[in-house]
A and B are shown apart, each in its own frame.
Chain A
Amino acid sequence: MVYRVHPSERVPHRVDRDRFLQLLCEHVGSDGLLFDAEDLRPYECDGLSAYRELPWIVALPETIEQVQAVLRVCREHGVPVVARGAGTGLSGGALPVANGVLLSLAKFNRIVEIDRANRTARVQPGVRNLAISEAAAPYGLYYAPDPSSQIACTIGGNVAENSGGVHCLKYGLTVHNVLEVRIVTMDGELLTLGGSGYDGPGYDLLALITGSEGLLGVIVEITVKLLPIPPCAQVLLAAFGSVEAAGEAVTAIIGAGLVPAGLEMMDNITIRAVEDFAHAGYPIDAAAIVLCEFDGIAEQVESDLLKARDIFRTQGATEVRQSTGEAERKRFWAGRKAAFPAAGRISPDYYCMDGTIPRKRLPEVLRRIAELSAQYGLAVGNVFHAGDGNLHPLILYDANKPGELERVEELGGKILEVCVEVGGTITGEHGVGVEKINQMCVQFGAAELAQFHAVKRAFDPAGLLNPGKAIPTLHRCAEFGAMHVHGGQMAHPELERF
């Protein structure tokens, strides 16, 4: 596998585990600790299950004071800490470190308050994304960011990853929908970032902590913005004879000043897989389909649909359908939502990538993905948050074939490098974690990486929070860069590589 812990990212310590368990026990009690191999097993990986590591200890605190105490004890003894929500992350962000404490926020599962007048929800980090919208629904309100994993993923994980969803073109990412968070830093201090209004005093630390992948602090409480549930939503399904035409139609929609609530695209491989699985009624001969949803008051939705239908037709759509009611709207979306499980049906395994590109470069990027796919002999389906340029290539493979996963990862890395080359980024919403840590060396120069490390030290000078994730060391990049330049020939073969 491509990812290896780099020696420069290890946090060595010689603390005795039994002794340390005793120390932690004083604060979280024996109910709050796991240490037997079989109890640790469920925590060995997140959604990127190719990588596994048993944690040293799992701590399950129940109160903020306990989180503070655990972090203080770890800090005193130089023990690394990895925070974990639901473990649905797709980049290995919550992958344990072998000599560290895995801090699960699972017991922080309370919705503390729904403030109806101010349209906010104050929640603990272990609350599931969807649970917030469910709790707000009686007031006609909801929490807008809706990652596909929303039935399982936690809001703490969402803040740590700055997660998006199909509706973020119109309603923004997590960072646009959070008003205040409370974090515990590695030295056990409790801080409040943001405020009860739309901004906070001083530096925008709320923006900085959002998407920080558990490297700067442990999020222990979150206040999110709630929005009124739109009274009306309808979706258009447009089919195209080429991905280029579909891409241009998406551009024309945005160019016309429309703001769809969702604007998704998928290619033929995905359409076929999905149709077999979910029977959404997709036209299986289409080279690409676009789903375009509008929501809001009925009159607005009607005028938007009218405009969008015209645009799709002018742009050469071979077919345009409009959902006629809630059931059909759900059916159109069911296909999109089933894209991942459907890929899992047509192939023993699939690997989901997550790059963002300027939308106008889509045809070129898809062409290059197709070339890479042929070169590696691995099929790739494409699901695309077309409105905001976030591409999810799904690489189909068979993990039981020796060496296949390695080739998949190599292909995935190449795809991300194409994204960077056309002015995009290696991750739109899944985070860097361990998965894309090498590609960080491609996207950023040494000065930027050094600046990231300086920011990290401002919060966590000893580097104990989630070491080896998200921000590569310069040592790692030096080796990765050298490997790149020499076309797979290793520089410094004498160095340990695990």
Chain B
Amino acid sequence: MNADLSESLRQAVLDAGNAGTPLMIAGSGSKAFYGRKATGSLLETAGHSGILSYEPTELVITARCGTRLSAIESVLAERGQILPFEPPHFGQNATLGGTLACGFSGPRRPFAGSARDCMLGCRFLNGEGEMLSFGGEVMKNVAGFDVSRLMVGAMGTLGVILEASLKVAPKPERELTVCFERSVEQALSAMNRWCSEPWPLSGLAYDGTRIFARLSGSERAVDAVYRKFGGEVLEKGDAFWEDLREQRHEFFRADGNLWRISLAPATPVLDVPGDWFYDWGGALRWLKTDAPAEAVFRAAEAAGGHAALFRGDSGDGQMFQPLNERLKSLHANLKRAFDPKGLFNPGRLYEDL
């Protein structure tokens, strides 16, 4: 299973450059639903896999991009550790490269950091077919620009990630999920109040009827907190968070456009018709709606946030919050700086990137 394909991937990038044919980078295809459709010939990365080093006491793991996320998580679990950003998989074969390229983080994000927060360093191929290495395997590193974090969420448009080093964290000794029945206004206000108090939270979601709060820590601490915090204990707490992370919850099963809106957590209910699911204590909002893309983008922007069509069809191919002209031109400049010939995933993130 484990193989070093970096040379052949590099050759493929060089060939594509010579031929002037763009590449569509594909891990396992698990996130093909997300983002705009790229064009180009397929560059498969799943074969470039294997964990290169794992040092539990250094809190770092390094793996090739095609390594299955599940393989990484099971190796970590053996040593009682986790990926702090609790990444969604969206498929059994989800790869590390695809996860980082999409920059997805799960319910633990507000409390433990995001995918980019955990990125310590990476090796990637730029559009000239050069193998570059930035950051490293240490927690603190400010030598040069933080290029590795820039790769996270770039949807593969800046380079082919070959390897990445991620910060890991100990798995909490105990986790307990408790629920509270609340109206949406009450829920937003309670979740934000709790976040400004020192509760050991690691998840905070609201499904339209109930708040779900996950408490983490030592046995003693969780017991003690539960006595003060209250709520109704959810028996299968772990399953709830996993279902939320993987979008298997009832809410996500209905057809129609699913939007992801990221904004300040205490933002009042947005004025867009549809069904809502709140994660990240209110900072991440899932919206099922048939409202036009324009309306969703406008509402998100007005709240200082941004929206992405996560699943579905906006009609005009717009999936990500439009950028203003100044940001657009900076994006174009950066794209040229990494991929001057425009080889990688053209159009996957924005039409002209």
Contact = CB atoms under 8 A, between A and B. Distances in A.
A299 B337 contact: no
Contacts of A118: 192, 264-266
Given A141-B196, A198-B114, A455-B334, A443 B304 contact: no
A210 interface: yes
Contacts of B192: 117-119
A300 B331 contact: no
Nearest to A444: B144
A9 to B, nearest CB: 16
Given A211-B145, A455-B334, A424 B221 contact: no
A191 B330 CA distance: 10
A360 interface: yes
Contacts of A304: 218
Contacts of A458: 330, 333-334, 336-337
B309 to A, nearest CB: 12
A358 interface: yes
A391 B278 CA distance: 42
A221 to B, nearest CB: 13
B321 to A, nearest CB: 4
B139 A389 contact: yes
A234 to B, nearest CB: 14
A414 B77 CA distance: 39
A423 B136 contact: yes
Contacts of A424: 136, 138
B224 to A, nearest CB: 4
Interface in B248-292: 262-267, 280, 283-284
B32 interface: no
B182 interface: no
Contacts of B103: 199, 204
A451 B338 contact: yes
Contacts of A203: 150, 153-154, 158, 331, 334
Find the residue from A180, A197, A432 having the highest chain B CB count within 10 A.
Answer: A197
Interface string B213-224: 000011111011
Contacts of B131: 447
A259 B170 contact: yes
Given A255-B56, A300-B217, A432 B126 contact: no
Contacts of A359: 57-58
Which of the listed residues B80, B116, B330, B331 has the most CB atoms from chain A within 10 Å of its own CB? B330
Interface in A105-140: 115-120, 139-140
A385 B140 contact: yes
Interface residues of B, number: 86
B198 A229 contact: yes
A205 B330 CA distance: 10
B2 interface: no
Given A162-B146, A423-B137, A231 B55 contact: no
B126 A451 contact: yes
A348 interface: no
Contacts of B199: 297
B327 interface: yes
Nearest to A254: B57
A299 B136 contact: no
A198 B280 contact: yes
A196 interface: yes
A448 B58 contact: no
A452 B145 contact: yes
Most buried by A among B153, B169, B196, B265: B196
Given A118-B264, A300-B221, A201 B144 contact: no
A198 B109 contact: yes
Kindly name the residue among A200, A385, A458, A470 whose own CB sees the greatest number of chain B CB atoms within 10 A: A458
B29 interface: no
A383 to B, nearest CB: 14
B350 A191 contact: no
A212 B145 contact: yes
Contacts of A356: 138-141
B196 to A, nearest CB: 5
A162 B152 CA distance: 18
Interface in B176-218: 192, 195-200, 217-218
Nearest to A304: B218
B36 interface: no
Nearest to A253: B57
A230 B326 contact: no
B117 interface: yes
Contacts of A168: 140
A174 B68 CA distance: 31
B286 to A, nearest CB: 13
A201 B306 contact: yes
A201 B80 contact: no
Contacts of A115: 264, 266
Nearest to A197: B262
B142 interface: yes
16 contacts: A164-B140, A195-B262, A196-B267, A197-B283, A197-B305, A211-B142, A228-B197, A252-B57, A259-B169, A358-B60, A429-B142, A432-B142, A447-B130, A448-B144, A451-B338, A454-B338
Given A204-B150, A299-B223, A428-B142, 13 more contacts: A115-B264, A120-B264, A140-B196, A175-B146, A198-B284, A207-B149, A208-B147, A229-B198, A299-B217, A358-B55, A358-B138, A389-B138, A444-B144
